[in-house]
Structure 1
Amino acid sequence: MNIGVVLDNEFDNDHRVQKEIRVLLSEGHSIFLLCFDFGNAYKTYNDIEVTRIPIHKKIKDALVLLSTNFVFYEFLWKQHITSFIIKNKLDALHVHDLYLAKAAKKGILASPFSIPLTLDLHENYPAAINSYEWATKGWRKHIVQPKKWYKKEGEYLKYANNLIVLSNYFKDNLLQRFTFLKATPISVHPNMPDFESFESFKKNDFPVAFESIHPTVFYFGVVAKRRGIIDILPWLIQLLEKGKKFHTLIIGPIDKADKRLFNSYINHPVLKNNLTYIPWSDVKYLPAYLKKISIGLAPFQVNAQHDSGIANKLFQYMYGEIPILATKCKAQQELIENSGCGLLYDNFEEFDENLTKLIENPELRKTLGAKGKKELLKLYKEKADCNFIEIYK
């Protein structure tokens, strides 16, 4: 089949989309990609045909701000999707994220081809946009009006012939809230890392030297209050003041809105000598860091967005045989409890108790880490991250 993949972002660093495309290619499909071009240097791809839409990042962001109540962004994508379908004689369209569903359906209807639409939900978008500072604070909240997406969700889901979601919990939640979805095939595609890529990354050493004589607590990903990592920084200070011996390594870019608060914590006189912050590192260096750390953090704030799926960092920790300390977001709680690969917490007391257990008990860390790797290998054996391919059979 000729399958068109649509992504309203740059493609080169979207590992979920890249992995899905590799799976589709392995099944013999021809893949055509439509994405944005923000004027950066991009890779070339021999096995897929890439069409990039040139646009300034600030213009794209402005159109997204207006997209709840105005059709500019929808019209832009509808026009490009129609041309994309006609040019490549597509047999199917695979579109990423809820907000592109209407533009994609209109693009199909404006083309001479009656093709099915698969909608790939990377997150619970209504819950996600209502958690973003840029959408809910100041003057922007009056323009974005994020709460309207709770009403729009059902309409946009109806445009899809097939759905892909992050977890069984999210699938069940959608089926409970939207009875019309019982007639819509829904595939679960967890955010598992590409195993072969991670195996090839083993030879890489990390670019920023890092050593600690104490157990190291690790967080990898975007640094933001909504991700929970900033919430636990004062807890780490309290534990260090109580005499606990550990080091913290954080790798990831900071949300602009949270930069001042984050810096105030990491420059605290107690924490700054027991914390290493690296603003960014390519994922290809992650296996090298995993060899040096003791405990993986998944401190996400518990809400509908984070309940909907398991962040890829949990699977990355499991790959490195690292025990996980996590909040009780539904999907990640289910994974951790079923596999026995980590400990959970609801509050500071539980965080203190469980982090202390992991710091002081290397055998417990080893046991939980081994269980995590075992569960991950089981998921790969069952091809849990390839079930979506049934849509195209």
Structure 2
Amino acid sequence: MNILMVLCQRFPPDIRVEKEARALHKNGHTLYLLATNEGRDKKYADNTFFKIFRYHPNLEYLQQKKKQILFIDDQVVREISKIITKVKVDAIHVHDLPMVRSALKVAQKYNIPIIADLHENMPAAMQIYEHGDSWIDTVSHYLFDNYLRWRLYEKEVLKKVDHIIVVVPEAAERIIKYGIDKSKIHIVSNTEETGYFNNFVLDESIINAYKEYFVVSYIGGVDKHRGADTAIKAISYLKYRIPNIKLLLVGGKGPYAMKMKKLINDLKLNQQVEIISWQPFNKVSTYNYISDICLVPHNLYEHTDTTVPHKLFQYMLMKKPVIVSSCRPLKRIVNDTQSGLVFKANDEKDLARKIYRLYTCSELRSILGHNGYNAAKNEYNWSNDAKRLINIYNKLEKANDRAQGVRS
């Protein structure tokens, strides 16, 4: 099949898009990708797995407001339509909720099946994303990022698409409540490929910089739902009990990272906590390598209770014991695989207790790390999720073959 993926941001990077494209390409499908051009990227480019079409988003104020109000981007509609006139498209695969209505408009016109790939619970996410501090920003956030508006929009468009992809069963449970047929909903999780980190060379300078420390790490954004604040506060209870402790928050940037730096200063943890700005992915394996414990300390929101990050499975593939918060998907996976400990979400004292428990028992750290590795190689491995993704397109191909047989 010729598959057009639609992404509402710049590409690269996007780990999930790359993994899906690689799996579909390997299975004989031809891939195209529509993404934004927010710099000087080439308008057209050939990736290993697909041909990329890029466009510069229209940032004119009225166009942006129209998009916010109507959940449709006229520019995206035009760009998808232009691609369809250039190449034969058998299916449209939309990444994340904001672009679904725009893609639907074209798909329905040309009678093309459409797949909505929901990386996260967008209605819930809109409630916790940071916005500007002015009264205009606050009013705009209340009106346009309103949870009920996004839920109604989500319910409407998901009933019209052919297939829906979510990352965890907890997200599927949420979508089923819209009255959507279970057979339309598929779980393709954020698991990783065995051996993926073997492609990266370890950075000796990073290894040497932290070799004297007991390293607890969190790798990823530090927005308020990620739990960086909970992790920092937990270290305040451990700074004297674990004299050589070092919490590394790798990937912190933006306004919320500045708030976390202030929290570190206020708690006098400058020697124990370090925020490291965004790092290229080839450095991530080294930070994983030097870690004694890896964290996913998500604070509890509806959003974090219905998703799972790639980093959990990356930690597991690196044989690292994990400590995660009690958000449902995290708790379920870690308890199922016996790969780490679970602390009560938003409870820094409980997180501190769990860190100290692993600090005092290297044997337990080793057992949990190996359990996680075995799970990430087997049940929680991308090879299984790739099969589920491919099966969706097998169903579409069979449906298309039947339709052609009827027409002939």
TM over 0.5: yes
CA distance in 2, matches of 1:333, 1:170: 15
Post-superposition shift, 1:293?
0.9
Counterpart for residue 405 of structure 2: none
**4+ aligned runs moved over 6 Å, structure 1:** none
Instruction: Name the CA distance, whole Å, in 1 between partners of 2:165 and 2:220.
Output: 23
Separation in structure 1 between the aligned mates of residue 301 and residue 129 of structure 2, nearest angstrom: 12
Alignment partner, residue 57 of structure 2: 55
Against the structure 1 CA distance between its residues 244 and 65, is the aligned structure 2 distance closer, same or farther, given a 3 Å change threshold?
Answer: farther
| TM-aligned CA deviation for residue 32 of structure 1 | 1.0
Deviation at 1:275, TM superposition (A): 2.5
Kept after mapping to 1: 8 A contact 2:167/2:187: yes
Residue in structure 2 matched with residue 121 of structure 1 by the alignment = 118
Distance 2:235 2:331 in 1: 22
**AA aligned opposite 1:255:** G
Provide the TM-score with structure 1 as the length reference. 0.90
Change (3 A) 1:303 1:142: closer
2:376, 2:242 → 1: CA distance? 35
SS in 2 for 1:134: coil
Please name the residue that 2:237 is paired with. Answer: 238
Which residue in the other structure is 1:166 paired with? 167
In the alignment, does 2:98 pair up with 1:106?
A: no
Q: Deviations over 1:128-164 (max 9, x none)?
A: 1111122896243244242211222210211210011
Kept in 2, the 8 Å contact 1:190–1:309? The answer is no
The answer as to whether partners of 2:126 and 2:145 remain within 8 angstroms in 1 is no
Structure 1 counterpart of 2:333, one-letter code: L
Unaligned runs of 5+ in 1: none
Q: Deviations over 1:327-373 (max 9, x none)?
A: 11111111000000011111233222211101111111111000000
Q: Matched residue of 2:23: which SS? A: helix
Give the Cα separation in 2 of the matches to 1:145 and 1:168. 25
Number of equivalences: 384
Contact between 2:232 and 2:273, CA under 8 Å: does it hold in 1? no
Residues 1:44 and 1:88: Cα distance change in structure 2 (over 3 Å): closer
Residue 36 (structure 2) pairs with residue 39 (structure 1): no
Aligned to 2:10: 10
Q: Name the CA distance, whole Å, in 1 between partners of 2:274 and 2:381.
A: 36
Query: Counterpart of 1:79?
Result: 78
Contact between 2:194 and 2:381, CA under 8 Å: does it hold in 1?
no
Deviations 1:19-73 (A, max 9, x none): 10010100111111111111244675254211101237xx2898666533146x5
User: Which range is displaced more, 101-110 or 116-125?
Assistant: 101-110
SS of the counterpart of 2:218? strand
Query: Does structure 2 retain, via aligned residues, the 8 Å contact 1:38–1:54?
Result: yes
State the one-letter code of the partner of 1:77: V
Q: What residue number does 2:400 align with? A: none
Cα separation, 2, equivalents of 1:64 and 1:6:
19
Deviations 1:304-323 (A, max 9, x none): 21122211110111011111
Match of 2:339 in 1: 341
2:361 equivalent to 1:364 = no
1:278 is displaced (CA, Å) by 1.5
Secondary structure in 1 matching 2:385: coil
Distance of 1:243 and 1:264 partners within structure 2: 22
Residues 4 and 34 in structure 2, CA contact (< 8 A), matched pair in contact too: yes
Task: Pick which of 6-15 and 226-235 moved more.
Answer: 226-235
Q: Secondary structure at the match of 2:53?
A: strand
| 1:317 alignment partner, one of 315, 318, 322 | 315
| SS class of match (1:326) | strand
Match in the other structure for 2:89 = 90
Mark the CA change 1:47 to 1:204 in structure 2 (over 3 Å): closer, same or farther: same
Worse overlay, 208-217 or 31-40: 208-217
Distance 1:295 1:39, change over 3 A: same
Cα distance 1:187–1:20, how it changes in 2: closer, same or farther (>3 A)?
same
The one-letter code sitting in structure 2 at the alignment partner of 1:336 is V
CA RMSD of aligned residues (A): 2.4
